[in-house]
């Protein structure tokens, strides 16, 4: 999908976080990529927003400019006119490409990250060497994965809601928010109404939506391009259903209300606001021959402040599925380096252990997620768990103080999040995963796939 970006141009001094338009800037000045090394310490840099806006900046002493400085320059831009105090909490800078996505820390220097991108890809990407050479990241100003969702849901500022809507729309169209087809149609209809305005029977026909469905539906939902030459659409086709949804939206609906409705649905998804990582898991197999010939399932690993979610990433399937979704209190985990680090085919992995009831007995299941990004997953899960424990500890301390003040005596105070995993509350597709099973005494009582060679 290609966009025509709106462009703003700024000069940023390292002595100040404010942005200003230089008087010598002409409308036809050419900017260069962040990757280009110039003799001058001022290197033109671009940052992108999901609302199709590009911020072009000349940063004094570019190599030393950190995320905090560049973010403040974006926030302070008059053209964007954002709520400065709020937007600095909600959004931050990411370095993003099709091969790797990294949320940068405030102290990180984007120029250095860009200069080191090849080595980062070599460490974390699953792509071939030639594909890595062609990779070009961009600096993206988007949602901070650590911003609490319950605070986001209280935001009233329309411009910030618009940015959040655009990011949610991107994730929906990219297939990162798995849901039922009927929900994709509903979201696509809302998006169409926001972008096209009220229904016009002279323009908005079934043919129109068949030609334009790539704008409104993720790839696994929309009609295959192989059949677009057919002149007739079935009544259950994606384009017909999309048109009907679009027509049902009342003329009185404002973009503000429609964006809020779109976001409210996305907020209801357990994996909303996640950071995403590439990985693979073993398919369940039968027999030694199948084990030797089968391929792993590519997955997306989504991690947010609530938990971890394993999403199938097969582009050929008609429905994206959450294979496993666990809240932090429902699992324990362990990061493991590859046994043969010199072997490029031997990947690091994240072990995820959780409890289930099987044949009336509580047993422990372990899933292996193989990924060069496993250490990044481990770091993010650890950060969220530490954050949760700190919050629970603070809440417990306050509750204890209140009880003491009320002269109540208690033998113990119960933590909000227990240390022992609880039974998963989400519906999981365990039959599509290769798992090891352990009883309550820690004995392995079931092995599948490569687990069969471990004991």
Task: Please report, for the chain, the start and end positions of each structural domain, with discontinuous segments joined by +.
Answer: 6-145, 163-267, 275-453
pLDDT digit string, tens, across residues 333-381: 999 998 887 787 789 999 999 998 888 888 899 999 999 999 999 999 9
201, 176 contact by CB (below 8 A): no
Report the alpha-carbon angle 139-122-370, nearest 5.
100
What does the pLDDT average to over 75-96?
A: 92
Whether residue 324 is predicted with pLDDT greater than 60 in this model: the reply is yes
Whether residue 184 is predicted with pLDDT greater than 90 in this model: the reply is yes
Of 103 and 390, the one with more pLDDT? 103
Q: Which CATH number fits domain 275-453: 2.40.10.10, 3.40.50.2000, 2.30.29.30, 3.90.1640.30?
A: 2.30.29.30
Fold for the domain defined by 6-145: Ubiquitin-like (UB roll) (3.10.20)
C-alpha distances in Å from residue 420, one per residue of 117, 153, 364, 417? 39, 30, 12, 9
Mean pLDDT of all residues belonging to the chain: 82
Q: Put the strands of the sheet holding 43-49 in their side by side order.
A: 19-20, 6-12, 53-59, 43-49, 138-143, 91-96, 101-103
Entry pTM: 0.82
Fold for the domain defined by 163-267: Acyl-CoA Binding Protein (1.20.80)
The C-alpha atoms of residue 309 and residue 53 are separated, in whole angstroms, by: 31
What does the pLDDT average to over 434-444?
A: 80
Give SS3 for 349. strand
Give SS3 for 189. helix
Query: What DSSP assignment string belongs to 210-264?
Result: HHHGGGTS-TTTSPPGGGTT-S---TTSHHHHHHHHHHHS-TT--HHHHHHHHHH
Nearest to 298 by CA among 280, 317, 322, 316: 280
**The two three-digit tokens of residue 238, written as one number:** 């994606």
Whether residue 414 is predicted with pLDDT greater than 80 in this model: the reply is no
Nearest to 93 by CA among 79, 74, 121, 118: 74
Nearest to 188 by CA among 227, 239, 256: 239
**The two three-digit tokens of residue 305, written as one number:** 């402040």
pLDDT digit string, tens, across residues 198-247: 999 999 999 999 999 999 999 888 865 444 545 556 677 899 999 999 99
Residue entry with tokens 């392995």 = 444
The C-alpha atoms of residue 362 and residue 194 are separated, in whole angstroms, by: 49
**The two three-digit tokens of residue 251, written as one number:** 């003329």
Nearest to 90 by CA among 60, 119, 50, 123: 50
pLDDT digit string, tens, across residues 444-453: 877 665 655 4
Compute CA 216 distance to the chain's CA centroid, rounded to the nearest angstrom: 19
145, 275 contact by CB (below 8 A): yes
Q: Identify the pLDDT of residue 395.
A: 60
CB atoms within 10 A of CB 340: 9
Rg over alpha carbons for the chain, rounded to the nearest Å, is 25
Whether residue 31 is predicted with pLDDT greater than 80 in this model: the reply is no
**The two three-digit tokens of residue 268, written as one number:** 């209801």
Q: Identify the pLDDT of residue 421.
A: 66
């Amino acid at each position: 999908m290609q966009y025509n970006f709106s462009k703003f141009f700024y000069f940023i001094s390292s002595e100040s976080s404010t942005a200003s338009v230089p008087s010598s800037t002409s409308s036809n000045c050419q900017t260069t990529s962040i990757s280009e090394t110039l003799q001058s310490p001022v290197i033109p840099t671009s940052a992108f927003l999901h609302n199709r806006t590009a911020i072009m900046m000349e940063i004094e002493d570019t190599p030393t400019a950190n995320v905090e400085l560049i973010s403040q320059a974006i926030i302070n831009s008059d053209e964007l006119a954002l709520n400065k105090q709020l937007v600095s909490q909600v959004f931050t800078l990411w370095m993003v490409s099709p091969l790797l996505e990294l949320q940068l820390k405030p102290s990180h220097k984007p120029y250095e990250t860009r200069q080191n991108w090849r080595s980062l890809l070599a460490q974390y990407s699953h792509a071939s060497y030639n594909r890595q050479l062609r990779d070009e990241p961009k600096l993206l100003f988007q949602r901070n994965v650590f911003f609490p969702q319950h605070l986001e849901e209280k935001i009233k500022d329309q411009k910030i809601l618009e940015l959040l809507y655009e990011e949610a729309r991107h994730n929906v169209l990219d297939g990162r928010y798995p849901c039922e087809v009927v929900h994709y149609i509903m979201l696509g209809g809302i998006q169409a109404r926001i972008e096209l305005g009220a229904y016009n029977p002279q323009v908005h026909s079934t043919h129109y939506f068949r030609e334009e469905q790539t704008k409104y539906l993720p790839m696994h939902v929309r009609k295959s391009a192989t059949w677009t030459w057919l002149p007739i659409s079935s009544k259950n086709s994606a384009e017909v259903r999309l048109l009907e949804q679009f027509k049902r939206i009342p003329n009185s609906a404002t973009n503000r209300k429609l964006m809020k409705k779109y976001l409210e649905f996305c907020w209801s998804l357990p994996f909303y606001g996640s950071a995403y990582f590439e990985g693979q898991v073993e398919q369940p197999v039968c027999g030694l021959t199948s084990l030797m010939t089968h391929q792993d399932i590519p997955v997306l690993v989504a991690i947010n402040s609530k938990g971890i979610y394993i999403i199938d990433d097969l582009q050929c399937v008609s429905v994206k599925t959450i294979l496993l979704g666990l809240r932090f209190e429902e699992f324990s985990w362990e990061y493991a380096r590859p046994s043969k680090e010199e072997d490029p085919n031997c990947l690091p992995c994240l072990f995820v252990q959780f409890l289930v009831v099987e044949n009336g007995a509580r047993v422990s299941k372990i899933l292996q997620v193989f990924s060069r990004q496993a250490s990044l997953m481990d770091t993010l899960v650890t950060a969220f768990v530490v954050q949760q424990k700190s919050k629970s500890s603070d809440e417990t301390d306050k509750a204890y103080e209140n009880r003491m003040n009320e002269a109540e005596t208690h033998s113990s105070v119960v933590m909000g999040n227990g240390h022992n995993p609880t039974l998963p509350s989400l519906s999981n597709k365990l039959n599509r995963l290769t798992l090891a099973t352990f009883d309550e005494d820690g004995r392995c009582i079931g092995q599948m796939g490569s687990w069969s060679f471990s004991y």
